[in-house]
Structure 1
Amino acid sequence: MEEVMEIVKKQSSPEVSISTPPLQINNQIHSPNLMSFPKSPFGSRFMNTPLASPMKKAIENIIEEVGHFTKFDPQDDWLPITACRKGNAYYAAFHVLNSGIGFQALVLPLAFTSLGWTWGILCLCVAFIWQLYTLWLLIQLHESDSGPRHSRYLQLAMEAFGEKLGKLLVLFPVQYLSGGTCVTLIMIGGGTMKILFQIMCGEASSLYQLKTIEWYLVFTVAAILLAQLPNLNSIAGVSLIGAITAVSYCSMIWIVSVFQGRLANISYEPSMGQSQATRIFSVLNALGIIALAFRGHNLVLEIQGTICSDSKNPSRLAMWKGVKFAYLVIAFCLFPIAIGGYWAYGNLIPSNGGMLSALHKYHEHDTSKLIIALTSLLVVINSLSSFQIYAMPIFDNLEFRYTSTRNRPCPRWLRIVFRGLFGCLTLFIAIALPFLPSLAGLIGGVALPITLAYPCFMWIQIKKPKKHSTTWYLNWTLGVIGMILSVLVVTGAIWGIVALGIQIHFFNP
């Protein structure tokens, strides 16, 4: 009995005090004595044994998380978005550039055909400043005062609006943006692959005989193979390649278009034969196209979740540095391609494909084949890179379902199955619904609250600024206007589809 009492006393010794105040725990963790490992050979050997490795990892997590007074969720170590928190400002810039520039920039001149010069430039500037402000809000909300880091847009929405309302408002648009973007990337990447091989190999090549569906399959297989990288931080190099290729082909397209000069018989005025209602809804559809150009807010919190954070260097500082650099580059890409493309093609810019289609349609014979082939190659590489970052939230959600039910990490073979099935599903949708790129205005309207409205409301709900203060009025005004604008854009896009029509052809890309 005495031996049992001695064992109990040893286990309840004050060396590991449960009732230690959080501040005292923080001071103990940051003290030099506890931060350094024992120098004795026995201590070093023990910390490297399998028995001590979970303890060592737990200590590292406590040093990271408790130092910033945040709660650590062990499940985050098993999920693709938060499995590795070794990111930095450079990685953040790569990811933001890869997700912020892409095919959506190529259709910006289409918005100017309805808005005209003055309103087109003004709306583009307002949208850029507005979405940059809401981006700053999301970065500040990533780390909460109450505990956990919100490393997913859905988590932050549920924290702000409650579990049921948060899922209702955010789950579909976020998943729709991720999955829908991957479907569109298959269409653009596969179609551009076909054009590239036609230019390089000519009609005599057997590759010329491949159908568009088969090129979609080639692109999807390449995307699935590249998707086997385990987590978001591991694709930083892929995002860097995607960012370089996006900046390169956007710059090449608008430079070639401007250098070749304006087309003959172009007009910068809206069609005069349209009714007043048609003009109004065309303007709303144009606003949806501009909103689509600034999509990517659904990935900002996920990107910030890959950055380590402590009390001295919170993740928001590194994230904001990366975002500032990335959006400076984005501005130098989007504004020239919108203004230069509209100047070069006016109302003759193709509605399907935008600037890329215009380059092949109007300058295929008066521009070097090397330039057109290089542009097409860059588009393909960028599409493959962007597919990875937009598919990552879907992969994360699939593995979350598994880890929540089984309480263990997702095995590698099942991860391969998940990602392969997602690739097959997006390929099927791309083949079944080849007219999806024509719905750019509708997609932009659905995504608009994610970008412009919800961050403002979440700031009010979580930060609770003083009523009737400048911040309170600003966020309420932007949030309400964003929601109204979203409803109008979606209505305008649907009306335009019904009134003007689109070429709907199922299973016939």
Structure 2
Amino acid sequence: MTEFQLAQPKELDAGALFVLKSRGSWLHCGYHLTTAIVGPAVLSLPFTFAMLGWGAGLLCLTIVAVVTFYSYNLLSIVLEHLDELGQRQLRFRDMATHILGPKWGRYYVGPLQFTVCYAAVAVCILLGGQSLKCWVLQQSWSNGVVEDFVAVLWNNNQQLAGLCKKRTPDFSHAHAVAARGFSLFSCLHEPPSGAVVLYNAATFCEEQPHHGPYACCSCIRLLPGLGAIYLLSTTDEKMMLYEFEVIFGCLMLILAQIPSFHSLRHVNLIALVLYLAYSACALFGSIHVGKSRSTSHKDYSVSSHGANQMFGIFNAISIIATTYGIGILPEIQATIVPPVKGKMFKGICICYVVIATTFFSVAISGYWAFGNQAQSTILSNFIVDGNSLLPKWLLLMTNAFTLLQVSATTVIYLQPTNEIFEQTFADPTSPQFSTRNIIPRLLSRSFSVVVATLIAAMFPFFGDIMAFIGAVGIIPLDFILPMVFYNVTFRPSKRDLIFWINIAIALVFSALGVLGTVSSVRQIILDSKTYHLFANV
């Protein structure tokens, strides 16, 4: 213990009281942990193997898994110890303040965690927009080309209403909905507004039977139709990536209003199931393609050489480390109802059972199927020259599951931001759902989502920036600080093995953080020639 240690305040502030409610079980904690760690990044693991090869890839994936499991348990043990002393810490920055001193919490850990989490929100919105774009376009392509249907609409306006009623089976459901949206505007010389089209499309949906292959009542089934409506109502006949990101951001505006971390337990359970589903799709898709390809088409050698190979290795290690990263473990442990001892360990074990099952299976199967041709996301390997190597329904389903799961991950990483806003603007003496607290909550959370969506839309190359943030943020929070916290709190003897294990891990990952930072900056410079705002990538 140091002279800077501060006792936990007797009264909780609004952020801790409203957002970090301590009502959950170890099972709920497992849901939160898993949703925060897993995600579409698992689909990039075959790509890291392409830069590392079989041996180094498996070794890195295993070492980082062991180190993070150890690190998260150390962090949990320190939190449990402080709780037993009557000084329970609910936030990462409070923990740093208590153990290392006020300046560490206020000027280093707090800003670092906020930057990492908010950047993760922007990246998730970017991924959500990309998944939605792929989903809509695949849905449109599965039943015809959008441009051809546009020609039908504008060249045959007089026959359109009858076409929709009599020949709906000849079109995808998305096209039928869009057609009805246009059918009442045959006298116009330009596309009507999206709102008007949407209203008439919704009217058409209500007219359809609520059963059979053309039922229109499912929101999930209607989403591709809404995308097609937008595509058909624009004069350039295509939709930009940032527009999909705005649509996804609108969904996040709603989900961001979920009041507390504990309230996400059911959402995160569903997200866990969705993650298992699209991981299974990637696994079986890779096996299917791998069996159909001859072994002569598979090259498992590392294709790059010299400096490119070296920086590729650093990038791969950074990607793997970031994939296992979380950065908000104290906030997740804060949701557990007291007493907390032993509960977090069970949650971590559940999380790592899922991780071990999915990370290794997707990485191994993807690299086995495609070798060093594995792309930054394995889903890209399933489409060659515009032709799908898998059944289109499988790709559609995988993108849909990814889209929905990313939305849950986004809400998880909004919680530190929400907690700061509640602490700043809410009144802990008023009820959580009083007008005094609801209005600031609605405005602040909406503002947070709008800004994150704007960042994602303006900088669709934000993944390169996130690699830099991961190197300077995720690695310190998850691979260095837990070791420091443990050694400072328990002061193990220098003769104890655990002391030197912690020192070694902290030093090794500090070096990897520096190398990852250099590598990510280099990649940003190399890619800067292709950067422009609101790019459609």
Q: Is TM more than 0.5 here?
A: yes
Number of aligned residue pairs: 431
> Which of residues 437, 451, 466 is equivalent to 2:493?
466
Paired residues for 1:377-456 under 5 Å: 377-403=400-426, 411-439=437-465, 441-446=467-472, 447-456=474-483
Which residue does 1:81 correspond to in 2? Answer: 19
- The one-letter amino acid of 2:491's match is K
Contact persistence 2:382–2:389 (CA under 8 A): no
Aligned-partner Cα distance in 2 for 1:70–1:164 = 17
Match 2:43 to one of 103, 106, 114? 106
Alignment deviations for residues 20-54 of structure 1 (CA, whole Å, 9 cap, x no partner): xxxxxxxxxxxxxxxxxxxxxxxxxxxxxxxxxxx
Residues 2-151 of structure 1 aligned to structure 2 (within 5 Å): 72-75=10-13, 79-82=17-20, 84-143=21-80, 144=82, 145-151=84-90
Distance (Å, rounded) in 1 between the aligned partners of 2:358 and 2:387: 23
- Judged with a 3 Å threshold, the aligned counterparts in structure 2 of structure 1 residues 501 and 402 are, in CA distance, closer, same or farther, namely closer
Measure how far apart 1:227 and its partner are. Answer: 1.5
User: Bigger relative contact order, structure 1 or 2, given CA contacts below 8 A and separation 6+?
Assistant: 2
Whether the 8 Å contact between 1:158 and 1:164 is mirrored in structure 2 is: yes
Distance 1:500 1:380, change over 3 A: closer
Q: Please name the residue that 1:503 is paired with.
A: 530
Cα distance in 2, alignment partners of residues 215 and 266 from structure 1 = 35
Does 1:244 find its partner at 2:259? Answer: no
Letter in 1 for 2:457: I
Partner residue in 2 for 1:188: 127
Cα displacement string for residues 174-218 of structure 1 (whole angstroms, at most 9, x for unaligned residues): 112211111111111122112222233442445331432221111
Aligned 8 A contact 1:286 1:441 in 2: no
The farther-off stretch of 279-288 and 464-473 is: 464-473
1:289 correspondence with 2:319:
yes
Q: Alpha-carbon deviation of 1:163?
A: 1.3
Looking at structure 2, the residues matched to 293 and 499 of structure 1 have their Cα atoms a distance apart, in angstroms, of 23
Query: What are the equivalent positions in structure 2 for 1:462-501 lying under 5 Å apart?
Result: 462-498=489-525
Decide which moves more: 157-166 or 284-293. 157-166
Q: Secondary structure at the match of 2:328?
A: helix
State the partner residue of 1:32: none
Q: Are 2:15 and 2:422, in contact at CA under 8 Å, matched by a contact in 1?
A: no
1:268–1:156 CA distance, 2 compared to 1 (3 A): same
Residues 3-29 of structure 1 show CA distances to partners (whole Å, capped at 9, x for unaligned) of xxxxxxxxxxxxxxxxxxxxxxxxxxx
Q: Distance in 1 between matches of 2:408 and 2:517?
A: 29
Letter in 1 for 2:484: F
Q: CA deviation at 1:146?
A: 4.2
1:331 to 2:356 alignment: yes
For 1:91-129, what per-residue CA distance to the aligned partner results, in whole angstroms no more than 9, with x for missing partners? 111111111110221111221122111011001100000
Q: 2:371 aligns with which of 322, 346, 362?
A: 346
1:457 maps to: 484
Q: CA RMSD, aligned part only?
A: 2.4
1:365 aligns with 2:388: yes
- Which AA in structure 1 matches 2:75? L
**Residue in 1 aligned with 2:181?**
none
* 1:444 CA displacement: 3.1
**Equivalents in 1 of 2:320, 2:261: separation in Å?**
27
Contact 1:292/1:440 (<8 A) preserved: no
Is contact 1:441-1:493 (8 Å) kept?
Answer: yes
More off after superposition, 255-264 vs 446-455: 255-264
Q: Deviations over 1:135-164 (max 9, x none)?
A: 001111223154321111111122222111
* Structure 1 unaligned residues grouped into runs of 5+: 1-68
- Residue 282 of structure 1, CA deviation: 1.6
Which of 318, 343, 346 is the matching residue for 2:343? Answer: 318
The CA deviation at 1:253 is: 0.9
1:361 deviation in Å? 4.4
In structure 2, the gaps of 5 or more residues are 1-6, 150-174, 179-226, 232-238
Question: Is the CA contact 2:464–2:520 (under 8 Å) kept in the aligned structure 1?
Answer: no
Is residue 2:301 matched to residue 1:269?
A: yes
Aligned-pair identity (%): 24
Q: Which TM-score applies when normalising by structure 2?
A: 0.75
Deviations 1:273-303 (A, max 9, x none): x32x33222211111011111011x221111
Find out whether 1:172 has 2:172 as its counterpart. no
Pick aligned residue for 2:310 from 271, 275, 280: 280
- How much has 1:76 moved relative to structure 2? 5.4
Q: Is the 8 A contact 1:238 1:385 kept in 2?
A: yes
Partner residue of 2:204?
A: none
Pairwise CA distance, 1:493: 2.1
